[in-house]
Amino acid sequence: MVELRNIVKRFDQNTVVSNLNLDIQSGEFITLLGPSGCGKTTTLRMIAGFEHPTSGEIILDGTHVENLPAYERNVNTVFQNYALFPHLNCFENVAFGLRVKKTSKADIQSRVMQALKLVQLESFANRRPDQLSGGQKQRIAIARALVNNPKVLLLDEPLGALDQKLRKQMQVELKHLQKQLGVTFIFVTHDQEEALTMSDRIAVMNKGNLDQVGTPSEIYDHPMTTFVAEFIGETNLLAGKVLNLSQGQLTLECDGLQLFAHTDKPDFAVGNEINLAIRPERVALSKEKVDGHINISARMQERIYSGGFTKTIMALPDGKEFIAQEKTDQLLSLVEGDEVNISWNPAQAVVL
């Protein structure tokens, strides 16, 4: 549905997007995820036609659109700040684009009411934006984009202005709406949890480059780069080098410890500098060593309670911090300064 080929975008000498390649399927919910300033909005604006690539190709539904103006592309954008017209009521805000296109009165009436119904705000047709909550304004902005029956909807941090609870609720609603309509969504966020919750696939951007594209679980469980491992969720990173390797089994030296790990990547050699990434929830704490697992002795430093889960922060022999996350009702009883065994299944650590 959308193909981005070798897209480069420079502002003066500054390269903001470098050689980006991405294929987006019809009906897919794909998220561009990355920290502020990595080029997400610029990429979206190039797809929309508000910005032109310095070089590269953009193909929408089989047609090259690099040189088409925004209004000739079958895409619509929803912005974070809603961009509603304050003096128009909800009906007229949604109808605006149709009126510009000289759509017939009867058509406008039925299409606007249908769009309002999709976002469950039919009864708000006569209200002005200042009479709406943040979540309702955002729904009107979405209705206004959907009323044009776009093949592709671009959403730039559309939930960014909502409080946490409403935001979670809108994440679910928006995902349902997208599946129901089958419209391709290209969603931008810097919030990794939001990306994991909503997306069919996530494209992780890092300083204008695409580091990894994959399903949420691929991105979370099999990060391809240290940046992805650290940006998505929390992770323990041990720096080290490869001492030995045979048939996907690596012997590593990390922070003075000798460890084992598995890898399915062929590109490691003895002497390579690596990072070993272990998710806090993959780490178990015990008094005794666990057979067949990696075991390290550590010292308990601090516990952080967060409802159902509790984090335990420990110090490794060289003083480095290491975090375990466990179910609060299954915690090993420990006090600050206690010695504790950290273990994990070597198959669940990722070598980067």
Least Å distance, CB 68 to ligand ADP, is 20
Least Å distance, CB 11 to ligand ADP, is 3
- Which residue sits closest to Mg ion, CB atoms considered? 41
Q: At what angle do helices 90-100 and 105-118 cross, to 10 degrees?
A: 130
The Cα–Cα gap between 118 and 122 comes to 8
Q: Are 29 and 178 in contact (CB under 8 A)?
A: yes
Nearer to ligand ADP (CB atom), residue 42 or residue 178? 42
Least Å distance, CB 31 to ligand ADP, is 12
Least Å distance, CB 205 to ligand ADP, is 7
Q: How far is CA 72 from CA 43, 55, 96, 217, 303, in A?
A: 18, 20, 17, 36, 56
Least Å distance, CB 41 to Mg ion, is 3
Least Å distance, CB 155 to Mg ion, is 11
Q: Are 311 and 303 in contact (CB under 8 A)?
A: yes
Residue 182 binds what, of ligand ADP, Mg ion, none (CB under 5 to 8 Å, by partner type)?
none
Nearer to ligand ADP (CB atom), residue 44 or residue 94? 44
Nearer to ligand ADP (CB atom), residue 16 or residue 242? 16
Least Å distance, CB 189 to Mg ion, is 9
The Cα–Cα gap between 58 and 7 comes to 8
Nearer to Mg ion (CB atom), residue 41 or residue 184? 41
Nearer to ligand ADP (CB atom), residue 39 or residue 223? 39
Residue 216 binds what, of Mg ion, ligand ADP, none (CB under 5 to 8 Å, by partner type)?
none
Nearer to ligand ADP (CB atom), residue 41 or residue 343? 41
- Give the interface segment with Mg ion, choosing from 40-48, 104-112, 193-201, 271-279 (CB under 5 A): 40-48
Nearer to ligand ADP (CB atom), residue 11 or residue 260? 11
Nearer to ligand ADP (CB atom), residue 16 or residue 202? 16
Least Å distance, CB 55 to ligand ADP, is 16
Least Å distance, CB 40 to Mg ion, is 5
Residue 164 binds what, of ligand ADP, Mg ion, none (CB under 5 to 8 Å, by partner type)?
none
Chosen residue from 29, 32, 41, 227 binding Mg ion by CB under 5 A: 41
Query: What is the rounded radius of gyration, in angstroms, for the C-alpha atoms of the chain?
Result: 25
Q: Is 271 left (phi over 0), alpha (psi -120 to 50) or beta?
A: left
The Cα–Cα gap between 187 and 12 comes to 27
Angle, alpha carbons 220-60-225 (nearest 5°): 20
- 119 in helix, strand or coil? coil
104: amino acid identity, one letter: S
Site size with Mg ion, rule: CB under 5 A = 1
Residue 333 binds what, of ligand ADP, Mg ion, none (CB under 5 to 8 Å, by partner type)?
none
45: amino acid identity, one letter: R
- 231 in helix, strand or coil? helix
Binding site for ligand ADP (CB under 6 A): 11, 16, 34, 36-42
Residue 202 binds what, of ligand ADP, Mg ion, none (CB under 5 to 8 Å, by partner type)?
none
Q: How far is CA 129 from CA 93, 135, 153, 167, 262, in A?
A: 9, 11, 22, 19, 56
The H or E element containing residue 44 is helix 40-48
| Neighbour tally for 183: CB within 10 Å | 21
Nearer to Mg ion (CB atom), residue 211 or residue 326? 211
Residue 246 binds what, of Mg ion, ligand ADP, none (CB under 5 to 8 Å, by partner type)?
none
Which residue intervals of 78-233 are DSSP H helices?
A: 90-100, 105-118, 134-146, 164-181, 192-198, 216-221, 226-231
Residue 217 binds what, of ligand ADP, Mg ion, none (CB under 5 to 8 Å, by partner type)?
none
Please report, as ranges, the residues that interact with Mg ion according to CB under 5 A.
41
